[in-house]
Amino acid sequence: MTVGTVPFLDVGATYRELRHEIDDAVRRVLERGHFILGEEVERFESTWSAACGARHCVGVGSGLDALVLILRALDVGPGHEVIVPSHTFIATWLAVTAVGATPVPVEPDPATRLIDPASVEEVITSRTAAVIPVHLYGRPVDVDGFDALGRKHGIPVVHDAAQAHGASVAGRPVGRFGVASAWSFYPGKNLGAFGDAGAITTDDDELADRVRRLRNYGSSRKYVHDVIGTNSRLDEVQAAILTVKASRLDEWNARRSAVADIYRAGLAGTGLGLPDDPADVAQAWHLFVVTSDDRDRLRSEIGSSGVETGIHYPVPPHQQAAYRTGPAANLPVAEELSRTVLSLPIGPHLSVADATRVVEIVRSVSV
Ligand SMILES: *Cc1c(COP(=O)(O)O)cnc(C)c1O
């Protein structure tokens, strides 16, 4: 018997906290009777571009679509290579494959779990058409280093910011770096819709304009189609919900950060690999990921004491059946991380008492 489970993430809690505001917002849209590309999407787009310090925000159907549409707007396609992390959620790779280009994996620094500009530079070729760094787990990559690398080689840097809502570097939000950032508002993200949703932020007027057309059948005026577009739009209901939830993002991230502090202090000296927390970055703490050589035992033992955990991610993209078609890639860092990473519960509604209990349970098992 356990004294109640510590859930990995309580997605429904954001609704319970904001029930009245969200109900009002949804009702407003339903009563207005306008559901696609209207004032709610425009309002959320200006809210989110302001939050990111970017000139433009374009709402789209999902985080994967945001990446795909940026690559399409940049004319990345067959014959091109796009540099991606070997250790990431598979959507980063899928976006590259979706436009007919080839993902070229780069191993992360095991300490930060992120790719860095120096290792990316080693694999740049004449076919490299873009680089997609991922602010994995909510920790920003070296944004200035990537900007410099992009300028030096004339290669667009597209940031996968799907896990980094609210993260910043020296006070600068991550959504204003590179040529564009791709956002996911999948329900479990730090800023989550109640369905699929995504967005692109960019300072580039032309890129924003292209993505705007691509998401809407290649059209900027009804029945005039300049390019072969698709249908990938943020809808009015999700946009209205996101505008309400965005007003709480900083507060929710502060609560995540408090949980991260409890874990970092409480688990120091246990032998677990802990995420570090450099002073100049504000992490979004989308996930709190520890590493252990005995991960599966740790997971099952703390699980029987009621601590729910996740693994991000158990199989790296290059070892998925979808990508095992070519010669076997040798990516030992990604492979080791897939065997050792464990995500502890974290979220804006995880109480201090529960976080403290997680520490006690993990300590009782790992020492
Ligand atoms: C969630 C996620 C995506 C994809 O977002 P969807 O909205 O689910 O399509 C892409 N990249 C990373 C790193 C993610 O975590």
pTM above 0.95, yes or no: yes
Q: How confident is the model at residue 338 (pLDDT cuts 50, 70, 90)?
A: very high
Whether the pLDDT of residue 219 is over 60: the answer is yes
Q: How far is the CA of 66 from the centre of ligand 1 (A)?
A: 9
Taking CA atoms, 300 is separated from 250, 275, 295, 304, in Å, by 33, 21, 9, 6
* Nearest residue (CA) to ligand 1, atom 2: 162
Please tell me the predicted confidence (pLDDT) of residue 337: 98
Locate the ligand 1 atom nearest the alpha carbon of residue 136 and give its number: 13
Digit-coded pLDDT (tens) for 136-154: 999 999 999 999 999 999 9
User: Ligand 1 pocket, 62 CB below 6 A?
Assistant: yes
First to last CA, the chain: 22
Q: How far is the CA of 92 from the centre of ligand 1 (A)?
A: 7
Mean pLDDT in residue range 83-106: 98
Whether the pLDDT of residue 328 is over 80: the answer is no
Digit-coded pLDDT (tens) for 180-218: 999 999 999 999 999 999 999 999 999 999 999 999 999
Whether the pLDDT of residue 108 is over 60: the answer is yes
Q: How far is the CA of 64 from the centre of ligand 1 (A)?
A: 6
In terms of pLDDT, which residue wins out, 4 or 80? Answer: 80
SS3 content of the chain, % helix, strand, coil (to 5): 45, 15, 40
Mean pLDDT in residue range 84-91: 98
Please tell me the predicted confidence (pLDDT) of residue 3: 64
Locate the ligand 1 atom nearest the alpha carbon of residue 64 and give its number: 9
Instruction: Residue 173: name the closest of 151, 190, 155 by CA.
Output: 190
User: Ligand 1 pocket, 343 CB below 6 A?
Assistant: no
Please tell me the predicted confidence (pLDDT) of residue 178: 98
Tokens 């976080």, residue located: 355
In angstroms, rounded to a whole number, what is the distance separating the alpha carbons of residues 315 and 56?
Answer: 35
User: Ligand 1 pocket, 160 CB below 6 A?
Assistant: yes
Which of 11, 132, 160 best tests ligand 1's pocket when mutated (most atoms within 8 Å of CB)? 160
Q: How far is the CA of 178 from the centre of ligand 1 (A)?
A: 18
Produce one character per residue of 268-307: b if its CB has 16 or more CB atoms within 10 Å, e if not. eebebbbbeeeeebbbbbbbbbbbbeebeebbebbeebbb
Please tell me the predicted confidence (pLDDT) of residue 4: 79
Locate the ligand 1 atom nearest the alpha carbon of residue 62 and give its number: 7
Stretch among 51-65, 113-127, 218-232 having the lowest mean pLDDT: 218-232
Whether the pLDDT of residue 1 is over 50: the answer is no
Q: What percent of the chain has pLDDT over 70?
A: 99
Three-class SS state of 157: strand
User: Ligand 1 pocket, 92 CB below 6 A?
Assistant: yes
Q: How confident is the model at residue 336 (pLDDT cuts 50, 70, 90)?
A: very high
Q: Which two tokens stand for residue 62?
A: 């999902």
Q: How far is the CA of 108 from the centre of ligand 1 (A)?
A: 18
Please tell me the predicted confidence (pLDDT) of residue 324: 87
Mean pLDDT in residue range 209-235: 95
Mean pLDDT in residue range 342-351: 97
Q: How confident is the model at residue 100 (pLDDT cuts 50, 70, 90)?
A: very high
User: Ligand 1 pocket, 190 CB below 6 A?
Assistant: no
* Nearest residue (CA) to ligand 1, atom 6: 63
Q: In what order do the strands lie in the sheet with 168-169?
A: 172-173, 168-169, 281-282
